[in-house]
Structure formats: structure tokens, C-alpha cells
Chain A
Amino acid sequence: MTAADGRAALLLAVVFFNTVEALPLPRSAKRENYDKPSAQDEIARWQRGLAGLGIHRSQAQLTEAAFALAELGVRARAWLTAPARPLFELTQTGQNWALFTHPDRWPARLVIEVQQGDEWSRVYASLDPEHEFRADALVYRRVRAVYDGQSEKAGRTWNRFASWAAAEVFAAYPEVHTVRVKFIRLHTYEPGESATVLEEVGDRFPEIRRRP
């Protein structure tokens, strides 16, 4: 075996594992994710598209089929990339290029409010030029990614993000004792669907923090 053979063999392994890693297979499959409004909205749109092709399935059937396919994909990827997994994890490298795969028709707007008497007033709201407290940090890509990922299902990180945001408010406004961090859920309409583009649907995941 020559050096050229060795290099070719190594590159074959690199290309193989990275290609499998890049395959459009799901990385996790959680049944509850398929019941979310955005997922059901997507499945309904696929149902209409398939009906146009003469394939008629109920929304429930398509939901189950999508979940079963996802589970299979997760298992296949895990098995095929098992030898390279430790290296992928140590270096946090990979080939997950899922960029705006499902444009979200139910986006969320981040809002931070402070309590003054019985009233709540805004200090920050996404894309609101009159309420821009710490906007530079809140729209910074890494911070945005922390809260944007929580608007469907708030987790532990949302809780900690709210604590951080509240601490920033307390530091900037000594007179403030209570802060509320929340999302306002929106629904995007395409032209022809509604007279308006965005409609506020309601508050989500409000977190209240009091000055320690």
C-alpha cells in the first residue's frame, strides 16, 4: 500500500461518514413534535399537495407515516455513523445543514416588560424601534438562537434566558422590581389568505422575575 493509497482510503472514510451525516434523515424523532400546530399545518399542506397528485390520505395517516419514517431515519443514521460518532462529538463537527427547512407560519415575538404599579410596560419587543432595551445583544445571532428555539416548547434554557434578561433589566433600572419575559405568538398569512400579514395569537411562556 502506497502513501497515495493510504490518503485515498482515509479520504474515502471521511467522505463516507460525512455523506451519511449529511443525508436528509431526521436527527431525532419525538411523537409530540408532530402534533404541534406548525407541524400539523405543514402536514395539511402536504396533504393538499398529494391530493393534487391523486394520493388521498387523512391528516392522521400522514402524521403517523411521517413519524414512522423519521424513527427509521434516526436509527439508520446512528448505525451507519457509529464508528465516527466519537470524533464528531469531540470536534462538534458534522453535516447538518437544515437551514429554514420549514418556514414557520407561527413565529414568535420576544417581549420584555417591567411592572410599574399595576401596569406592565415594554422595554423590549422584537423589531419595535421604541422599545430597544439591550436590542444589540437580544438580536445577536447566538442569543436569538437561544430564545427562538424555545417559542414552540419552552425548556430549561428559556427559564435561564429569562433570568439573564431580567438581571440585565434590574441592573439598568434600579427602580424596577418585577420583570416579565414572554413571547407573543403570531400567525403569518400569505397574500390572498387574509387582509393582514401578521396576526397576534396570544402570549406564550411568560416568565416573571422579582428583584432578589
Chain B
Amino acid sequence: MTATWAWWRALWEGDDDPLPLVLVRVVLPLVFLWDFWQVHQLHLVIPLWGPGDAGGMGDPEHRTAVPLLYQWFAPTVATTRGAFWVLCASTMAVSLGLLLPLSSLATVLVYAQFAEVLPAADRGIDTFFRDVLLILAFSGASRRWGIDAMLFGRRERIAAWPRRLLILQVVGLYFMAGVQKAGVAWWPWGGFSALFIVLQDMAVARHAFDWLQRYYPLTQLLTGATMAFELGACLVPYAYWSRHTRERPGWLRAQFNRLDIVPGWLLLGVGMHLGIAATMRLGVFPFAMLATYPAFFHGQEIRRVLGRLTVADARPWG
């Protein structure tokens, strides 16, 4: 028991370069600000989150369990608009690294109220955003390249556990999405027909895919690749563990370190999300997921890539 507890404790110890989480902190909220901007531009703030008497589709004030937002404040258009702008401001504050614990929690709580007002309009990716914000709130990721660094002092290192927890969160999402694909069309005995079927759904498809029969084998291949990517997510924590304990013996550990599956797995994820963005109308989902990918890299690895880009940019053309 003591050894197991010591192992668990050690798993979350140590410090880390803040760069990966800073990138997540900056980019992920910007993706959602874009989404909120769309809500505003399409004149959907009130239809989605407003009181029923003003045309809100959730009709929150007449339900048995009235959301706290409309218990604490009058169910009026002004309340909805006020909450919406608080949500936008706190999301922007997260991105800027301003009072990160407070701004993250404020964003989670206000966004949670909107989720309660119209649950149908709150999707998995919105839940994921709130999950990640709760990790960022305690991460210290604003103490570098954030306003908090100017206000409270800059930190060269932050705790390592938030990045590890975020990796676990993303990997868990993919793996569980794969495990829950109980529809027979996702599996070989269902003919790997899932993507073909999904792309015929007019509520989801970006284009009419009535010509897709000609490319049916390709959709089968991509269905298989999606399952391989999602179910393969369970190997990622072991890949990190193998890297972390590189000096220890073991055939499997050695193979994982030799193959280093993480970059290839992430590349498959990038391909899958860009494919989703090109063929389906799932809004910010692919971009929000991609915004968390920096967490899979060490700061040094990101710096190396950015350094290469900088050097390449500095070279004269030709």
C-alpha cells in the first residue's frame, strides 16, 4: 500500500516548463470566444439562453428547477445579455492570463448556467472546455506570458501535475469516445459503415454526400482509422510512462521508447479533426480539441519547433 501510494504521489510531483499550458490557456479560450461571437452575430443570445417570455427556447423560468441565474437575477433580456458579456469578458481574461484562477472559475460557473438554461444546446465540447478550465484555474499558467506574471511576478517553472492531468483528460475523452461507439457500424462486423452513414445525416454533413457510394471503401478505411485512433488513446499514458522510466528494463518499455507512438498518434488526431472540419458542421469541436495538443509536448520540444520556424523565417528567400 505504501509503495503504491508513493508511486501515485510521485506521479504528480515535479515542475514543468509553462509553455505548453500557456499555449492551451491562450488558444482554447480564443476558440470559444469565436464561438460566442458567432452566437452574438447570429442574434442567438436570447433565443438560446434568454427567458422563455422573451423567446428563449429553454424557457428556463417556467421549469420546475429554475437555473440559479434566473433565481438570483430577474429572468429578463438584460440578465441574459449581462451574463453573456460576463462570460465573454471572463473567457478573454483567461486567454490574457488575468487573475487566472478567478477568471477560469467565473467562466465555468457562468457557462454552466447557460448549459442549464438550454441543455440541448450544450455539447460535449462545451463540457470539455469547462473541464479544462478547472485544470487551468489551478495551473499557474498565467505566471508566464500572462498579465498575472506582470502583477504577481513571473515564474520560470510551474507544477507539472496540471499538464499531466490535461493529457489524461484528452486521452480519456478519445478513449471513452471509442469505447462508447457501440453502434455496430463502427466495427468490422458492421462493415465499418459508420462514416458513410454519418455523412448522409443532413443535420451534420457540411455538403450533400449522395455521391459517396463511389468512395465507400475509403469511408470504411477512415471509420477503421477513427476507431484505431480513439481506442489507441489508451496506449498514450503508457508511452509517457515508458519515456519517464526509460532507464528501467523491460521489453515492452523498450519497444514503446523505440517507436515513440505519441507524435504519430497526434498526427492521426490532427488528420481526423481537419477531416471533421471539412465534412461536418460541428462548430468549434475540431479546433477546440486541437487547441489542447500543445499539452502533449514538453516546452523544450515546442521551443525547438518554434526555433526552427524562426530560423527558417529569418533566411532570405531563395
Residues of A within 8 A of B (CB): 4-5, 7-8, 11-12, 14-15, 18-19, 22-24, 42, 45-46, 49, 52, 90-105, 107-110, 126-127, 136-137, 139-149, 151, 156-157, 160-161, 163-164, 167, 186, 188, 190-191, 197-198
Contact = CB atoms under 8 A, between A and B. Distances in A.
Given A8-B5, A93-B127, A127 B201 contact: no
Contacts of B131: 93-95
Nearest to A195: B213
B207 interface: yes
Interface stretch (B70-78, B92-100, B180-188, B302-310): B180-188
Interface string B164-198: 01001100111011011111111101110110111
Contacts of A161: 57
A14 B86 CA distance: 28
A63 to B, nearest CB: 15
A14 B166 CA distance: 12
Contact of B127 (A45, A52, A94): A94
A103 B9 contact: no
Given A92-B116, A103-B197, A190-B197, A157 B130 contact: no
Contact of A126 (B12, B168, B203): B203
Contacts of B148: none
Interface in B256-282: 281-282
Given A92-B127, A107-B201, A137-B44, A24 B120 contact: no
B210 interface: yes
B107 to A, nearest CB: 10
Nearest to B186: A103
A31 B188 CA distance: 29
A197 B183 contact: no
A105 B58 CA distance: 28
B150 interface: no
Closest 7 CB pairs of A and B: A141-B283, A92-B112, A102-B183, A103-B197, A142-B121, A126-B202, A107-B201
B177 A15 contact: no
Contacts of A136: 42
B180 A101 contact: yes
B8 interface: yes
Contacts, number: 201
A142 B194 CA distance: 23
Given A12-B8, A22-B176, A92-B122, A109 B202 contact: yes
12 contacts: A7-B9, A8-B12, A90-B109, A93-B112, A95-B176, A100-B181, A103-B183, A110-B203, A136-B42, A142-B121, A146-B57, A146-B121
A97 B180 contact: yes
B123 A145 contact: yes
B203 to A, nearest CB: 4
Given A46-B184, A93-B131, A191-B216, A107 B203 contact: yes
A197 B213 contact: yes
B168 A45 contact: no
B247 interface: no
B173 A97 contact: yes
Contacts of B200: 107, 186, 188, 197-198
B177 A97 contact: yes
B161 interface: yes
Nearest to A137: B42
B87 interface: no
Nearest to A45: B184
Among A12, A144, A186, chain B packs the most CB atoms within 10 A around the CB of: A144
Given A24-B179, A197-B210, A95 B172 contact: yes
A98 B180 contact: yes
B205 interface: yes
A156 B59 contact: yes
Contacts of A96: 124, 127
Nearest to B198: A103
Given A107-B201, A164-B57, A186-B202, A24 B183 contact: no
A147 B210 CA distance: 23
Contacts of B29: none
Contact of A93 (B120, B134, B186): B134
B197 A188 contact: yes
B158 interface: no
B55 interface: yes
B83 to A, nearest CB: 14
Given A24-B179, A100-B198, A191-B216, A42 B42 contact: no
A151 B204 CA distance: 13
A135 B9 CA distance: 52
Interface in B35-55: 38-39, 42-44, 47-48, 52, 55
